[in-house]
C-alpha cells in the first residue's frame, strides 16, 4: 500500500480509504471483518459522515459498537468524518451551532475523544465563513478535531473559507472515476472550441487548484459510471472500456477493480481512492491498485475508452 504524508498534517495516509457509509445494517462480525480486511491490505484510514445511516450518526455508532476499540487501537487509525448535510429536508448547514453539535455527536457516536479530519460535506449556499472559522478555532483549541477540509467544493468556495479560516484545509472529497472525470477531462481538452469536454465547470481547474494549495483530493464513487447510476465495471454500456480494463488486469495479474483504482492512484496529484463497498473481497481486490505503475499510454488508453477526447 502506497502511503504519503498529507500536506498540512502529520498524518501518514494510505492512498486507498475505507468508506463506511453503508454499514448501518451490518452485524458486528461483518463490520469487524470489513475493517480487518482493510487493515490487512494496509488501509488504516476510515471515512464517515454524521448523515450516514438510517438515523443521525448511525454508521458512526454502528462502527464503534462493533469495533469496541481500545485507546491504543483507536490511535492506529485515522478517522475522518463530515458535517453539513441535514437529512430532515434535506438542506445544508455550516452554522457555528450545527458544526459544534455535529462534532459532539460524532465524538459520542464514535466513542472517541478526537476526530482526525473533519470535512464540510457539501457547500452551503448560506455559509457565513466567519461562523465556520469560529467553530474550527474552538474545535482545534479543544483538541476535538486535528485537521479540517471540505467535500464537493469549488476553488472559489474554498478561497472564501480560507479568507476567514486559520487552519489549513487539507482535503477536498470529489466524485471521480474513469467514466466520471470532468475534473481531469476539462484540462485535457482546454482551448478546444466546440468540444463539450472543454467547457469550464464549477469555476474550473479544481484538481490543479488543489495541487497548488496542498489539498489532498479524495475520490468518492471511484467505480460508479455517473452520479449513482451503477458501476462501469462489467457493464454492457462500456464494452470498450471493460475490454481495456480486462486486458490490463491480466497483464498486471490483478482483478479488474484494481485497474480502476490504479487509474486514480497513478495520477501525480497523489489522490486517495475512497471505497464504498461493504464486501471484504472487493476491498482487498481494489487495494491491489494502490501501487500499480500504469504507463502514460495505458492511462490515456483507459481515458479514451471511457469516451473522453484526447485531442
pLDDT, averaged per 10 consecutive residues of the chain (311 residues), comes to 97 98 98 98 98 97 98 98 94 98 98 98 97 98 98 97 98 97 82 60 84 98 89 96 98 98 98 98 98 98 93 73
Distance CA 206, CA 183 (A): 7
The pLDDT, as a whole number, for residue 211 is 97
The pLDDT, as a whole number, for residue 198 is 55
Q: What angle do CA 77, 183, 190 make, to 5 degrees?
A: 150
Q: Find where cell 448523515 sits.
A: 51
H helices within 71-212, ranges in order?
Answer: 71-75, 96-110, 129-141, 155-162, 182-188, 206-212
The pLDDT, as a whole number, for residue 192 is 57
The pTM score is: 0.95
The pLDDT, as a whole number, for residue 226 is 80
Count CB-CB contacts under 10 A for residue 164. Answer: 14
Tell me the domain boundaries of the chain: 3-306
Q: Which CATH class is domain 3-306?
A: alpha beta
Q: Specify whether the CB–CB gap between 155 and 213 falls below 8 A.
A: no
The pLDDT, as a whole number, for residue 197 is 63
Amino acid at each position: 500500500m502506497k502511503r504519503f504524508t498529507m500536506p498540512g498534517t502529520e498524518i501518514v495516509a494510505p492512498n486507498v480509504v475505507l468508506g463506511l457509509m453503508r454499514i448501518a445494517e451490518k452485524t458486528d462480525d461483518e463490520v469487524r471483518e470489513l475493517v480487518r480486511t482493510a487493515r490487512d491490505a494496509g488501509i488504516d484510514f476510515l471515512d464517515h459522515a454524521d448523515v450516514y445511516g438510517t438515523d443521525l450518526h448511525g454508521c458512526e455508532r454502528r462502527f464503534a459498537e462493533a469495533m469496541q476499540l481500545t485507546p491504543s487501537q483507536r490511535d492506529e487509525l485515522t478517522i475522518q468524518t463530515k458535517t453539513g448535510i441535514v437529512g430532515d429536508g434535506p438542506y445544508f448547514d455550516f452554522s457555528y451551532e450545527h458544526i459544534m453539535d455535529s462534532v459532539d455527536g460524532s465524538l459520542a457516536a464514535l466513542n472517541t475523544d478526537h476526530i482526525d479530519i473533519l470535512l464540510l460535506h457539501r457547500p452551503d449556499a448560506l455559509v457565513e465563513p466567519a461562523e465556520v472559522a469560529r467553530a474550527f478555532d474552538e474545535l482545534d483549541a479543544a483538541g476535538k478535531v486535528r485537521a479540517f477540509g471540505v467535500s464537493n467544493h469549488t476553488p472559489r468556495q474554498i478561497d472564501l473559507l480560507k479568507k476567514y479560516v486559520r487552519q489549513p484545509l487539507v482535503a477536498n472529497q470529489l466524485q471521480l472515476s474513469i467514466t466520471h472525470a470532468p475534473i481531469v477531462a476539462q484540462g485535457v481538452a482546454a482551448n478546444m472550441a466546440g468540444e463539450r469536454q472543454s467547457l469550464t465547470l464549477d469555476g474550473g481547474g479544481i484538481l490543479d487548484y488543489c495541487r497548488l494549495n496542498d489539498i489532498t483530493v479524495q475520490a468518492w464513487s471511484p467505480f460508479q459510471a455517473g452520479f449513482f447510476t451503477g458501476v462501469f465495471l462489467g457493464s454492457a454500456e462500456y464494452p470498450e472500456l471493460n475490454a481495456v480494463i480486462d486486458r490490463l488486469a491480466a497483464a498486471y495479474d490483478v482483478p479488474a477493480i484494481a485497474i480502476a483504482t490504479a487509474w486514480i492512484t497513478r495520477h501525480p496529484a497523489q489522490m486517495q481512492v475512497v471505497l464504498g463497498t461493504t464486501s471484504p473481497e472487493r476491498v482487498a481486490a481494489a487495494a491491489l491498485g494502490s501501487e500499480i505503475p500504469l504507463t502514460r499510454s495505458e492511462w490515456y488508453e483507459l481515458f479514451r475508452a471511457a469516451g473522453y477526447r484526447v485531442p
